Structure 1
Amino acid sequence: MIYRASHDSGSIRGAVSLPSSKSISNRLLIIKALSNSPVTISNLSKSDDTSILKELFASQNKALEAKDAGTVMRFLTAYLATRAGEYTLGGSERMCERPVGILVDALRQLGAKIEYAGAKGYPPLKITGSALHGGQLVLDGSVSSQFITALLLIAPVISGPLSIEFSGKISSRPYISMTLQLLNTFGIESLWKNNKIKIRPGHFRETSIDVEADWSAASYWYSMVALAKEAEITLTGLTGSSIQGDSIAASVFSLLGVRTTFTDSGAVLTKSNEVAHEIGFDFTDCPDLAPAIIVTSAALRVPGVFTGIESLKIKESNRITALQEELHKLDVELIEISEIAVRTKMNPEPTSPASVLGSHMDHRIAMSLAPLGLMHTSVDIKDPEVTSKSYPNFWNDLKSVGFEIRPVK
């Protein structure tokens, strides 16, 4: 399927109810499954990833499919290792290309019984649940934060304290902090000092919790405000006092002409028209913001140098390759200058895409390209339905602020 996105006036106004954070939701579902105390979760994400996790918890099957949900694959690998029974855990073709070897090796050091059903280091997995013990793990700090989170989430139910020491620079630090803060809400204490986290077994206390609005989803609205002729968008329920690292979007997009005002209703986004002549940013702590920020700066013809992008290559798509291919259609080059950095090079005048923009079956690529419909007569986006992975109502929300979204093939 292809959607054609266009906007007659190029000006947007309205209020949008963002989806709930799937990062928080998925962590809470694991905690609820591990807890012997009542856990009440309000405003749970309706994303595909969270729905998959809910369905798998409700399933009586021993053969489980994470489909294309990375958090589900990583979190369930650790969770199932603590549950009695024999399981197989697989996923989509792309999921089986995403490495899990570091997580499996770490779990094996804690006593887990996990074997590879296919290629070594990759799903699918054969997991025999057993009683795990604590221990001291040393992990490369650049590994996926989801590996670290998977280990931290099961730490309260294993025998003995768990220590995780990081070597090198730590990636996606805010996502690890989010996990520790959520565990603390449930009475599980931890200590993170310098490059080491220590966490002891404990009992989850009875808790009721509301899931925050999703800052990752907010980034696409920041992009729309930046690219619109005029704009005033209220993102209801979005707060500045968030446990999500992606809340830094408000600061980064201020360099691209977006002003954020927090009110009792949420975050109000307006145009400041103060756009930097160039931009540089390190995505180490917030890789999910990269597509929206890189595409927006390119559309505004603001040259950029972006670092901390190495994890983008093992997401739902290789997001570096995907962005290179799609930005090329806008006469923008995304040049890799090292393993961890890219820069943009462009003609000064915006160019309308001459061909269909590909989502690469990646929700964040699709959503980062949609705002371009405000700057051009229209943009055509292939496989638009992938946005349901994290933001099921994305296209309807665009319609609510005046976009015309129609299938063309």
Structure 2
Amino acid sequence: MTESSVHTARWPAPYASGAVDATVTVPGSKSVTNRGLVLAALAAEPGWLRRPLRSRDTLLMADALRALGVRIEETVSSSSSATGDPGVASEAEGAGEAWRVIPYGLHGPATLDVGNAGTVMRFLPPVAALADGPVRFDGDPRSYERPLHGVIDALRVLGARIEDEGRGGLPLTVHGGGALDGGSVEIDASSSSQFISALLLSAPRFNQGVEVRHTGATLPSLPHIRMTVDMLRRVGAQVDEPETGGEPNVWRVSPSAVLGRDLTVEPDLSNAQPFLAAALVTGGRVTIPDWPEATTQPGDALRTIFTEMGGSCALTQQGLVFTGSGRVHGIDVDLGEVGELTPVIAAVAAVADSPSTLRGVAHLRLHETDRLAALTKEINELGGDVSETADGLRIRPRPLHGGVFHTYDDHRMATAGSVIGLTVEGIEIENVATTAKTLPDFPRMWTEMLGV
């Protein structure tokens, strides 16, 4: 099959003839995996990352770090140690994949392919500033449209030399000097919390550490910043943050060594979303093993959101058991902290029994695609009634019909269309392969959940 045919292929989304009843094991968190890789690459000693997610975004991160001189050895481990770390699983038993990360001196020249991965394009320029030599960043066409100015401008203030020809985005070259002064910087992270996480992750290695002051009116996806702070503390960094009594909208990281750790990655709770949605829209039951009791992952909010939309859930020894009631209700909800959940929530809302308003997600216009415009267009072309607001979507359920659901190379669009396909016959997903960005086995997992 040619590359072009892969991207234009239509996948018949399976229709659920009855209530779903399945146990679905979800791979590791992309957010934890990529943060763990960066911290391990900056450490003063080797470390382990167990049960990492293998997907396009995480393999791009691993390959980019290898290009900078970091050794990452992929093995199958027979056991994993308990970590007790929030943001990583507290217990890990049995066999599983493990990555041994052996940091060496970061060096250029190097060329890094970021694909369309926000974590790679934003987390690695600060790392490259610590390398010895020039590091060029390039990626997919869509990556050129995604904002990077927050990271670029901040790094210049902190002492880095970056060539981007005034674009504020890709492609660009970071001229690493082997070290970075660091210090205080103001940044508007209204378009992406990753701007802040990017600076914090490398900050222990800056000569002066860093003080990051957010100046924007809004700050999306705060749980991801909490995840960054938590993981920094687990590798020995000292972090002052607003959440623990620090100054509002200010994060401080002191200079220090980064310790090598043995981390086990939690299941990706955001990738569990379409499977939980399947239970909700079919009135069925889905169990997700190893759902953590405490976590910084935004996906944990699904327990509250999907319960309000008509389901119920319980944490058991088997994992999170989510049960649909046979009815799906609309919701009025601010998703500003958990914006990545919006596409599937919109899909569920499109088949609900009452209207929904999804608020606080204007920043989704700058993600893998303009998700608000894409969701509006695709659901409406199936007969829906969705309109954009200044910061979200208004969804009025209508009877939907079959048709092609386009993904715009966006993995969460593909899963959203698949959820609609459970209750609407004749849905075809264009380029379901885009789910490989974070969930490579999605088509197989989806059909197995349905017993197909």
Name 1:188's counterpart in structure 2: 237
User: Structure 1, residues 196-233: CA drift from partner, whole Å, max 9, x if none?
Assistant: 111101112232110000111111112111111x4121
Distance 1:180 1:56 in 2: 23
Distance 1:268 1:318 in 2: 33
Aligned length: 397
1:171 pairs with 215, 220, 230, which one?
220
Distance 2:254 2:306 in 1: 39
Distance 1:160 1:8 in 2: 57
2:112 pairs with 59, 64, 73, which one?
64
Contact 2:21 2:279 in 1 (8 A): no
Q: Could you list the runs of 5+ residues in structure 2 that have no partner in the other structure?
A: 1-8, 69-108
2:304 matched to 1:251?
yes
Distance 2:30 2:168 in 1: 26
The within-5 A match list for 1:356-367 is 356-367=404-415
Name 1:73's counterpart in structure 2: 121
Post-superposition offset of 1:240: 3.5
Aligned residue for 2:278, secondary structure, equals helix
Contact 2:281 2:326 in 1 (8 A): no
Task: Please tell me the root mean square deviation across aligned C-alpha atoms, in Å.
Answer: 1.6
The within-5 A match list for 1:245-394 is 245-273=298-326, 275-276=328-329, 278-338=330-390, 340-347=391-398, 350-353=399-402, 355-394=403-442
Aligned residue for 1:292, secondary structure, equals helix
Distance 1:121 1:154 in 2: 20
AA of the residue aligned to 2:359: T
The verdict on how the C-alpha distance between 1:307 and 1:296 changes in structure 2, with shifts beyond 3 A counting, is same
User: Structure 1, residues 293-331: CA drift from partner, whole Å, max 9, x if none?
Assistant: 111011124311111111111111110111011110232
Contact 1:13 1:231 in 2 (8 A): yes
AA of the residue aligned to 2:64: L
The within-5 A match list for 1:188-267 is 188-192=237-241, 193=246, 194-228=248-282, 230-267=283-320
Distance 1:237 1:308 in 2: 30
AA of the residue aligned to 2:185: L
State the TM-score, normalized to the length of structure 2. Answer: 0.84
2:173 matched to 1:126?
yes
User: Structure 1, residues 5-47: CA drift from partner, whole Å, max 9, x if none?
Assistant: 2235232112111021000100010001111122111011111
The verdict on how the C-alpha distance between 1:72 and 1:191 changes in structure 2, with shifts beyond 3 A counting, is same
2:26 matched to 1:21?
no
Greater Cα shift, 263-272 or 314-323: 263-272
Contact 1:5 1:403 in 2 (8 A): no
Larger relative contact order (Cα-Cα within 8 Å, sequence gap ≥ 6): 1
Distance 2:343 2:380 in 1: 14
Distance 1:64 1:284 in 2: 31
Aligned residue for 1:142, secondary structure, equals coil
AA of the residue aligned to 2:33: S
Runs of 4+ in 1 over 6 A off after TM superposition: none
Post-superposition offset of 1:275: 4.3
Contact 1:80 1:87 in 2 (8 A): yes
User: Structure 1, residues 219-266: CA drift from partner, whole Å, max 9, x if none?
Assistant: 1112111111x4121111122311212210110011222211111221
Post-superposition offset of 1:391: 0.6
2:199 matched to 1:151?
yes
Post-superposition offset of 1:274: 6.0
User: Structure 1, residues 90-129: CA drift from partner, whole Å, max 9, x if none?
Assistant: 111000111211210000010011111x561120011110
Larger strand proportion of the pair: 1
Contact 2:373 2:388 in 1 (8 A): no
1:12 pairs with 16, 20, 33, which one?
20
State the TM-score, normalized to the length of structure 1. Answer: 0.93
Contact 2:147 2:191 in 1 (8 A): no
Distance 1:356 1:242 in 2: 36
Distance 1:302 1:165 in 2: 41
Contact 2:110 2:135 in 1 (8 A): yes
Greater Cα shift, 319-328 or 231-240: 231-240
Post-superposition offset of 1:273: 4.2
Contact 1:6 1:403 in 2 (8 A): no
Aligned residue for 1:269, secondary structure, equals strand
Distance 1:315 1:8 in 2: 30
Post-superposition offset of 1:53: 1.0
Contact 1:7 1:403 in 2 (8 A): no
Post-superposition offset of 1:154: 0.7
Greater Cα shift, 70-79 or 23-32: 70-79
Aligned residue for 2:141, secondary structure, equals coil
Distance 1:226 1:8 in 2: 12
Name 1:140's counterpart in structure 2: 188
